[in-house]
Amino acid sequence: MSALFVDIILPVPIPQHFTYALPDDMQSRCEIGMRVVVPFGRKKFYSGIVAAIHDRLPDYDTKEVQVILDDRPVVQPLQLDFWAWMAEYYQCSPGEVYKAALPSGLKLESETVVVYNADYHEQQPLSDKEQQVADFLAQEKQCTVSDLSQATGIPNVVPVLHYLMSLGMIFVSEQLRESYKPKIVQMVALSPAVRNDDALRKAFATLERAPKQLEMVMQLMQLAGYKAALEGAAIARADLLAKGGSAAQLAELMKKGIVMQIEKVVGRIDTQLLDTLEPHPLTPVQQTAIEQLRNLFQTQHTVLLHGVTSSGKTELYIHLIHEQIAQGKQVLYLLPEIALTTQITTRLRRHFGNRLAIYHSKYSDAERVEIWNDLLAQGNFNVVLGARSAIFLPFTNLGLIIVDEEHEPSYKQYDPAPRYHARDAAMVLARLHGARVLLGTATPAIDTYHNVQTGKFGLVQLFDRYQGILMPQILVADVRDARRKKQMRSHFTPLLIEHITRALADGEQVILFQNRRGFAPYLECGQCANIPKCDHCDVSLTYHKHHHILTCHYCGATRPVPVTCPACGAPSIETRGFGTEKIEEEIKLIFPDARVARMDLDTARTRKAHEQLIHDFEQHAIDILIGTQMISKGLDFDAVSLVGILDADAMLNYPDFRAFERAFQLMAQVSGRAGRKNRQGTVILQTTNPDHPVIQQVITNNFAHHYAIQIAERETFKYPPFYRLINITLKHKDQNKTHRAADNLALALRHLFGDRVLGPQDPVIARIQNLYIRQIVLKIEKKASPARAKQLIQQAIHALVAQPEYRSLIVQIDVDPM
């Protein structure tokens, strides 16, 4: 048999694949997309993905593949093509894409923590090596793969661990991630020896003097069904004991050989068919819109559905999903925020039952692995609803990708690499599958609308709200004028207080939007103006009153609140600014009878917390909901008649060329939460600058005017969509080295790109987690070759980090930064 080699994608940030020799006994079993365990370096082992199989001898000594982990590929060829595009476009390594794409439970490496399963019951004998590992883990409970190898003296322990995992004796747990542990249920069935009428009668006779045990066997027969029980049907041990028997009685029955206990691995995802509803009939306006969509999809790969809030975009999505399923196709429905999935899941579940899968980071790793495997096997799921990571799933027959709220910055991944934008990546994924992309929003991104204007995307507009609901009335409250007249009540204008009072009296609900969490953005000494700052980052610490601590929102460091000023010793520490926590406290003082809740990262960290808050608000258990941008995105509440935007100026004054675009989107989106079927909603927009152009555009809901101004400025100042931006960030714990490296790299890039290079400069926050930061920005014309530009950038960076002085320098590339 001729020698074969495999190119492996390893979960490490190296720019190329590594080639390994494939042993003769593995050649017939190995396929592209399978996971294999390979040695890397002197002591590490990783599970990697087979990217290619060939007979080309590399020009270096190859190590051998140790074990093949799969019976079938877990990654498909189309996915590998998608990974390759993402690594090339977003300037990262294939290994970084692999780490982002696969759930933790499908990855195994030397630093993986191995955990002993205390519920495991030995079923078969083990070899000496397997028993040695099992005994060690039973005693230690958990340890890393590399430590286990060292403790047992077994140089390559990974194949042994793989076998023990298949038995359910151990499971793996990635640090900072939820453990992946097969869900095992203890089941009870009749022993094979008594599975006929004669043997069962004899068994009953032996139990005449043990009536409790006899009753337990009768309960088993009743729960399983007489015929099914004789065929070996099992029922859950917990269900049997719940009928009144005891564990001791069950143990006696097992000892007598009448029943047996077995373990069954069950899925965490409910795949039983549910009764579902047909889509609701469309209104004439919606019917026209869906026909336009169908026609455009004949010629256009991507279509923008520009529909105002409450116009019924989701109903159109449901009809289109039904059409795709009828054709045997799969649909990916992307949402920018996990918080949104709660309401949408309930709505989609009514129509698609358990053919709908939910995939995002708040679900356990085990659940994500099961969804991955189900899609690979083309099993139960036709529709996947998820956040940005869902684009990595192994679709086999994708027909449509819906990107809801396509304008949202949350679709952009910041850290770690790959720093991809899910909306843009979804378009590439769709092309690979021959699928179509539908972008939906009430406030399109400037870049997206430019693609519509230039004919790259199709456009369907839906400007009538469902059931004739009127767009909200937007009233501006002048904070500066109210302060001058001493009419402010804490952070609330008289106009806002008046409308909250009226809404509560009418039994209606209120949303208050403040895009900053915590109690106060910072503390300040009233005598010397000293502001407590993070020891590790160049930012002020945010005061959280509930826990009475100061917290850094960048590195997570906390510090007790000082009683006196650490600089001058004066007992005059005062809060400055306000966040959602402070708004919550003050609203409770002003409206003591109102039921008030807060939705931000502090109160909605878990999936259950998200769902509970939304459920309580839907059920009118909350009167006033205070929140950050979490509450601005697509949530639908029938009884919200008033929305208050507390600090519009903070959004408008952010130092970013997209600040006005984002401010318009946020204010328009949160305004859209107001309004009910028979009554126009109201929005109170508090600002010190009522005449600001963006404020006026929000009041008149004039997106066209907003777009015209923004696109003209972008063209004048060479910003997207006319130029492509690439941010290069350099980080080092030595400030001088960071500055020297940035200067050297900028000089090298200017030799290649001329005045397209801006910087280096300090970012707004120039130190995070004790690393000093400098940034270089490249503005490259859209007509220029992006591949050639990125190749030159990589060469310049490699030349820099090859110098001994800069080996510990961190260089990050962000293509199309947000």
| CATH (domain of 771) | 3.30.70.600
pLDDT at 506: 92
Say yes or no: 460 and 479 in one domain: no
Q: DSSP code of 112?
A: P
Q: Distance between CA atoms of 66 and 23, rounded to whole angstroms?
A: 9
Residue 277 CA, chain-centre distance (Å), reads 29
Q: Distance between CA atoms of 588 and 586, rounded to whole angstroms?
A: 5
Binding residues: 525, 528, 534, 537, 552, 555, 565, 568
* Structure-token pair, residue 776: 């270089």
Q: Distance between CA atoms of 323 and 127, rounded to whole angstroms?
A: 54
How many other CB atoms are there within 10 angstroms of residue 504's CB atom?
A: 18
Is residue 271 domain-resident?
Answer: no
Domain span at 360: 284-465
Q: How many residues does the chain have?
A: 818
pLDDT at 678: 64
* Domain finish residue from 101, 136, 161: 101
Residue 24 parent element (H or E): none
Is residue 568 domain-resident?
Answer: yes
* CA dihedral sign of residues 517, 518, 519, 520: negative
pLDDT at 144: 79
Is residue 585 domain-resident?
Answer: no
Angle between helices 211-224 and 197-206 (to 10 degrees): 150
pLDDT at 449: 97
Say yes or no: 606 and 573 in one domain: no
Say yes or no: 415 and 482 in one domain: no
Q: How many domains does the chain have?
A: 7
Q: Distance between CA atoms of 200 and 139, rounded to whole angstroms?
A: 42
Is residue 285 exposed (0-12), middle (13-18) or buried (19+ Cβ within 10 Å)? middle
Tokens 């203890």 -> residue: 186
Q: DSSP code of 678?
A: T
The one-letter code for the residue type at 155 is P
3-state secondary structure of 475: strand
The one-letter code for the residue type at 768 is I
* Domain finish residue from 101, 131, 151: 101
Is residue 718 domain-resident?
Answer: no
pLDDT in tens, 633-660: 656 777 889 999 998 888 888 778 999 9
Binding residues for Zn(2+): 525, 528, 534, 537, 552, 555, 565, 568
Q: Distance between CA atoms of 337 and 566, rounded to whole angstroms?
A: 40
Ranges of H-type helices in 90-127:
94-101
Say yes or no: 378 and 441 in one domain: yes
The domain that holds 642 is classified in CATH as 3.40.50.300
Say yes or no: 731 and 752 in one domain: yes
Say yes or no: 322 and 198 in one domain: no
Q: Distance between CA atoms of 516 and 666, rounded to whole angstroms?
A: 13
Q: Evaluate whether 391 touches 334 at the Cβ level (below 8 Å).
A: yes
Q: Evaluate whether 383 touches 418 at the Cβ level (below 8 Å).
A: no
Q: Distance between CA atoms of 156 and 171, rounded to whole angstroms?
A: 18
Q: Distance between CA atoms of 368 and 382, rounded to whole angstroms?
A: 15
Bridge partner list, 518: none
Report the relative pairing of strands 558-560 and 573-576 from DSSP bridges. unpaired
3-state secondary structure of 398: strand
pLDDT at 33: 96
Q: Evaluate whether 503 touches 642 at the Cβ level (below 8 Å).
A: yes
Is residue 622 domain-resident?
Answer: yes
* Domain finish residue from 129, 147, 173: 173
- Give residues with Cβ within 8 angstroms of 191, minimum separation 6: 257, 258, 259, 260
pTM over 0.85: no
Say yes or no: 525 and 483 in one domain: no
Q: Evaluate whether 680 touches 470 at the Cβ level (below 8 Å).
A: yes
Q: Evaluate whether 250 touches 188 at the Cβ level (below 8 Å).
A: yes
Regions of the chain where pLDDT drops below 70 = 1, 42-43, 108-111, 122-123, 155, 172-183, 265-276, 338-342, 467-468, 604-607, 632-635, 676-678
Say yes or no: 628 and 661 in one domain: yes
Is residue 89 domain-resident?
Answer: yes
Nearest-5° angle of CA 413, CA 418, CA 422?
Answer: 45
Say yes or no: 38 and 133 in one domain: no
Ranges of H-type helices in 672-762:
693-700, 703-716, 735-753
Q: Distance between CA atoms of 303 and 324, rounded to whole angstroms?
A: 16
Say yes or no: 319 and 444 in one domain: yes
Is residue 399 domain-resident?
Answer: yes
Say yes or no: 687 and 701 in one domain: yes
pLDDT at 517: 77
Say yes or no: 505 and 528 in one domain: no
Is residue 107 domain-resident?
Answer: no
